[in-house]
Amino acid sequence: MNRDTPRILLLIAFLYLLVGTIGHDPWRGDDATHFGPVFEFIAHGGTWVPQVGGQVVEGYGPLFYWLAALVASLLQWLLPLHDGARLTTALLMAGTLWSLWRAASLMHGIQARTAVVLLTVGSLGLVVHVHETQPAMGLVAAQACVVWMLVSPHRFAMPLAGLAAAAAFLFAGLQGILTTWPLLLFRLLPSQQTSPHSRLQAIGGLVIAMAVCLAWILPASASPDWTAWLAAEVQALAPDEPVPARIPDWFKLFGWFLWPLWPLALWSLWRAWHGAPIRHVPLLLAALVLALASVILTGGLRPVRMLPLIVPLALLAAPAVERLRRGAAAAFDWFAVMAFSSAGLLLWLAWSALVVQWPPGLARHFRKLAPGFDLAPGVPALALGIMVVVSWIAYLGWRRPSGRDAALTWAAGMTMLWCIATSMLAPWFEHTRSYRGAAEQLASVLSERSDSGCIAGVGLGHAQRSAMDYFAGLTIEANRDVPTCPLVLVYTDTRMNPRDLNRLGVEIWRYERGGGRQRESFTLLARRPS
């Protein structure tokens, strides 16, 4: 690996984790959805079960939202609440990288610990989720810590593994149990018992995990929202579609989301099968199988559900980097150079299309997606983009030949690409993905009405309802049939069937943005007198 590797790792990790994490509104999707329970906790008081406006947030436990609320509250003198909440994800990712660093060092040696960090940073599917308010990253951090503790010789390793497994449940519910708890029993296998106390330590770790979880379950079960949360967790264990029908889609998602981890992991397994001294392969395969089971059984076919696969694949892939044949390593490096250079060029063309309307075909596409939007060329963003490109070109001339820095090329390329996208195109993302404009316009309209004390919602998810509360202080009732609400706010996008708004009331305000598949609209209606 290259010279001054620790410094390079710290620089890449700092840029990768911080750029794009702060400095923008909650964006639609998971970022806005999961900021809702955080703001609910800060503004309206905490609950044992995560919720937004009285509706339970399914799929995750409360621990991430508690941590995000704590970090956001502590840093509100410096950062807006939404930036502080999003920073929690970056902190969890930093913990994940540290756990992978230590685990790879214990499993495969010093060279592998550098490779595992670089490969994780360079994985394609991780980059977006690391930079949003994402409770799934809590599960990944807990999973990485469990694996680290299972190979650690420290006398308190198994109690700490038990605490990490409990955190996995508090982060991700039953998916956390499925992903991490069986690993605690791994030391019960005869081949894994390194001391007479291994069996007792494994059972002790499991007891600690159960005790910590019961400390939350007992008070939470007295909450009126507990039944709904638990029912959603159990229901998530039943796939929405027959498993065979979804296998092709899983392979497609698996192929790009976990690139370049899975080819290197397969190479490590091939070498281990043919006698290479790669340690802890059974443990990593067990972690991989458990993660795959959680993907198959919990939730729909969403990229975020693939995150637990990263930890075992990264640890399997790490020892392969230094053992690639010269031709394979050169090809691996060349592919990274070409892919990231081409993607960077496309981002510059996107910026050019938004600013100077060239190339014209791409400019027309952006006008269709966001009619009326014009990107002003900000000098700081342009300077940062140029600096990033110059740094990338300098790195290409500095890296060692024959693909010996291929893992570093992937990490540097991903960091370069993300820095360009979130600096030069930040206004575009803010315009197309933030609900601030809709919330502020709605608040302005309602300020002139005397019947704005109660607003029923139709079609609004957690993201839209939390944005209305956060940006405008508006509480949208979850039930559209609330009889005392004179106003109804309707949200529609291209995934929803057209609604007959005339049945609900008379339109008094409408907000639309986007075009094609990105089209969204908010409509405020006044109920007709009965």
38-60 residue pLDDT tens = 999 999 887 899 998 778 888 89
CA-based nearest residue to 170, from 92, 82, 74:
92
| Highest mean pLDDT pick, 192-206, 432-446, 503-517 | 432-446
| pLDDT of residue 480 exceeding 70 | no
Region of poorest pLDDT, from 234-248, 287-301, 484-498: 234-248
pLDDT at 248: 81
Mean pLDDT of the region 326-354? 94
User: In sequence order, which residues have a C-beta less than 8 Å from that of residue 428 and are 6 or more positions away?
Assistant: 354, 366, 370, 373, 375
Beta bridge partners of 512: 521
**What is the pLDDT, as a whole number, of residue 255?**
93
Rg over CA atoms, the chain: 25
Q: For 67-98, what is each residue's pLDDT tens digit? A: 999 999 999 999 999 999 999 999 999 999 99
Q: How confident is the model at residue 188 (pLDDT cuts 50, 70, 90)?
A: confident
- The yes-or-no verdict on residue 106 having pLDDT over 80 is yes
- Establish how many alpha carbons lie within 13 A of residue 34's alpha carbon, considering only the half-sphere containing its beta carbon: 33
The CA-atom distances, in angstroms, between 379 and each of 376, 392, 423 are 9, 20, 11
In a 3-state reduction of DSSP, which class is residue 510?
strand
Average pLDDT over every residue of 238-263 = 81
Residue 113: per-residue pLDDT: 93
Residue 520 sits at φ, ψ, to 5 deg, of -140, 155
Give CA angle at 314 (59, 285), nearest 5°.
Answer: 80
E-only strand ranges, 413-480: 455-458, 476-477
> How distant is the alpha carbon of residue 43 from its chain centre?
24
Q: Is residue 452 scored above 90 in pLDDT? A: no
Mean pLDDT lowest for which of 99-103, 345-349, 523-527? 523-527
Cα separation of 399 and 13, whole Å? 18
Residues 6+ apart with CB under 8 A from 169: 61, 176, 177, 180, 181, 209, 213
Position 194 pLDDT exceeds 60:
no
Residue 143 pLDDT > 80: yes
Residue with tokens 């400019």: 363
Average pLDDT estimate for 341-369: 93
What is the CB neighbour count within 10 angstroms for residue 499? 14
pLDDT of residue 505: 85
Q: What pLDDT is recorded for position 499?
A: 64
Instruction: Note every long-range contact of 495-499, with CB atoms under 8 Å and residues 24 or more positions apart, other chains counting.
Output: 496/459, 499/458, 499/459
Label residue 524 exposed, middle or buried (CB < 10 Å: 0-12, 13-18, 19+). Answer: buried
Binned at pLDDT 50, 70 and 90, residue 241 comes out as low
pLDDT reported for residue 196? 61
Q: For the residues 190-213, what does the mean pLDDT come to?
A: 81
Buried b (16+ CB within 10 A) or exposed e, 400-431: eeebbbbbbbbbbbbbbbbbbbbbbbbbbeeb
What was the pLDDT predicted at 467? Answer: 94
User: Is the model's pLDDT at 394 over the cut of 80?
Assistant: yes
- Mean pLDDT check: name the lowest of 217-221, 310-314, 483-487: 483-487
Provide the whole-model pTM: 0.95
State what percent of residues in the chain have pLDDT above 70.
94
pLDDT for the residue numbered 497: 60
* Tens digits of residue pLDDT in 272-314: 998 888 889 999 999 999 999 988 887 567 899 899 999 999 9
